[in-house]
Chain A
């Protein structure tokens, strides 16, 4: 089983619509969870951290379900600029390092 698994998509989303997708992780010791965004041939950029109680940042809402070991991201009122690959990222915090484990990404295409 992959450490972090995502539906690769693409999710074709009309502008203004809502899109949601999940990722699952295999290591129950994972302690921190993130969504990063990656544009084509660019570096990953932090979109948001994911907290146990769920959290929202503008049009983006993230949820964590530790029991089922999945994380979700919901994007409301999609903009053309939201077109990107969304990377689900987990880590097992250690005092001397913070290795991030990435999923393969979910591609989102927002169309007019």
Chain B
């Protein structure tokens, strides 16, 4: 069964550093998403991406965040200058259509020191 994959599984970085989180969505999916979950809190929407552009973003997704689909398979989330409060689990998700089920990757646990 196809699944969403994410790398790395864990990332530790210093405050102010740039990080890139990588995702490989399911191959025939067209809609891509990033969510995050701070430890002990709920899953929060960050951004949705369709047809090579952002279709919606949350208040969390400020100028420090960007997404890219650099080739036909990868979908990345970049945090330009990390802050302590960016420490969280970041989940990538994909879906075939806008109203289709979203399938989540295993997540990248980001720790900012």
- Chain B contact surface mostly: strand
1/0 contact string of B56-95 vs chain A (CB within 8 Å) = 1010000000000000000000000000000001010101
1/0 contact string of A43-68 vs chain B (CB within 8 Å) = 11110010000000000000000000
A68 to B104, CA, bound (A): 30
What B residues does A95 contact at CB under 8 A? 98
A102 to B33, CA, bound (A): 14
What B residues does A93 contact at CB under 8 A? 98-99
What A residues does B41 contact at CB under 8 A? 104
Q: Number of contact residues on A: which range applies?
A: 20 to 34
Most buried by A among B35, B41, B104, B107: B104
Q: Number of contact residues on B: which range applies?
A: 20 to 34
What A residues does B104 contact at CB under 8 A? 43-45
A93-B98, A96-B55 as given contacts; A101 in contact with B45, CB under 8 Å: yes
The answer to whether the Cβ of A94 comes within 8 Å of any Cβ in the partner chain is yes
What B residues does A44 contact at CB under 8 A? 43, 91, 104
> Do A99 and B42 have beta carbons less than 8 Å apart?
no
A96 to B42, CA, bound (A): 24
Give the 8 A-B residue pairs with the shortest CB-CB distance, closest first.
A97-B48, A96-B55, A97-B55, A43-B104, A102-B43, A97-B56, A104-B42, A99-B45
6 A-B pairs within 8 Å (CB atoms) are namely: A34-B101, A43-B91, A49-B101, A87-B42, A96-B50, A96-B98
Q: A43-B104, A102-B42 are in contact. List 10 more A-B contacts (CB 8 A).
A: A43-B91, A45-B104, A93-B98, A94-B55, A96-B55, A97-B31, A97-B55, A97-B98, A101-B45, A104-B42
Binding site for B on A (CB under 8 A): 32, 34, 38, 41-46, 49, 87, 93-105
Binding site for A on B (CB under 8 A): 31, 33, 35, 41-45, 48, 50-51, 55-56, 58, 89, 91, 93, 95, 98-107, 109
